[in-house]
Structure 1
Amino acid sequence: MKQVQNIFEIHTHGQGLYEFSPEVSDWVGLQGLTCGLLTLFIRHTSASLTIQENADPDVQFDLNNFFCRFVEENPKLYRHTCEGPDDMPAHIRSALTDVQLSIPIVHGSISLGTWQGIYLFEHRKTAHNRQVVAHLMGD
């Protein structure tokens, strides 16, 4: 059994979904495993991870807009406002989505469906440098 880790740095420029499937796929391919499990974990509380459709960019646009409507950015609604009006809503959006993903490795590749991509979901309005820790184990 082999185990390896990596940290992916993802630079965001505001709210939205940022696909990083190609980087993950390339890194997994270099590890020489044929069968295993990849765990991705985001090291932040105001961004999250998701697997979503990567064929039509309207999906990402609509998801982001839905979460902006669903979790209102109104400082009157929250006690935690010291980091700006988008911070507490970003924490809530992160709690409603995922901070960790598990993806099988089959025949040396990440086993995503035809239209699936791995995304960092940025919930803050300003640019951030995000880190996603990857842990790969298998044979």
Structure 2
Amino acid sequence: MRQAIHHLPVNTRTRGLVEISHEVRAFVREQRIATGLLTLFCRHTSASLLIQENADPSVRRDLERYFEQLAPEDPERYEHDTEGPDDMPAHLRTALTHTQLSIPVEHGNPVLGTWQGIYVFEHRRAAHTRDIVLHLIGE
């Protein structure tokens, strides 16, 4: 049994989905582990991880609009605003999504469906560099 770990910096420009499938696949291939389990972990409380359709960009736009309605910026609605009016809505969006994903690895590749991509979901308006930890275990 072997293990590998990697910190993947992901630059976001603003609120929305950033696909990282290519970088994740490259990391898994470089490790030469044929069968195992890949864990991704987002080390932030205002960004998250999603597996979502990567063929039709309207899916991503609809998701972004949905979360804007679900947790809107509204200074009258929240007590917490330490980092600005988008701070608490970002925490709510993270609480409703995932900060960790587990993906099986088979034949040296992450096992994803035909239309599935791996995304960092930025919940803040400002640009950030998000640290995504990739941990692969297998043989």
Please indicate the TM-score interval, normalised by the length of the shorter structure. over 0.9
The amino acid across from 1:84 in the alignment is G
Q: TM-score, normalised by structure 1?
A: 0.99
Per-residue deviation, residues 84-113 of structure 1 (Å, max 9, x unmatched): 000100000000000000000001100000
Per-residue deviation, residues 29-76 of structure 1 (Å, max 9, x unmatched): 010111000000000000000000000011111101100011111011
Q: TM-score, normalised by structure 2?
A: 0.99
In structure 2, what is the equivalent of residue 42 of structure 1? Answer: 42
> Which secondary structure does the structure 1 equivalent of 2:101 belong to?
strand
In structure 1, what is the equivalent of residue 16 of structure 2? Answer: 16
Which stretches of structure 1, 4 residues or longer, exceed 2 Å deviation after superposition? none
Corresponding pairs, count: 139
In structure 1, what is the equivalent of residue 124 of structure 2? Answer: 124
Superposed, 1:14-93 pairs within 5 Å as: 14-93=14-93
Q: Distance in 1 between matches of 2:118 and 2:85?
A: 28
Q: CA deviation at 1:5?
A: 0.1
Q: Distance in 2 between matches of 1:96 and 1:85?
A: 18
- Residue identity over aligned pairs, in percent, reads 56
> Which secondary structure does the structure 2 equivalent of 1:93 belong to?
helix
Q: Distance in 2 between matches of 1:29 and 1:72?
A: 40
Q: Distance in 1 between matches of 2:5 and 2:82?
A: 35
Gaps of 5+ in 2: none
In structure 2, what is the equivalent of residue 7 of structure 1? Answer: 7
The alignment's C-alpha RMSD in Å is: 0.5
Gaps of 5+ in 1: none
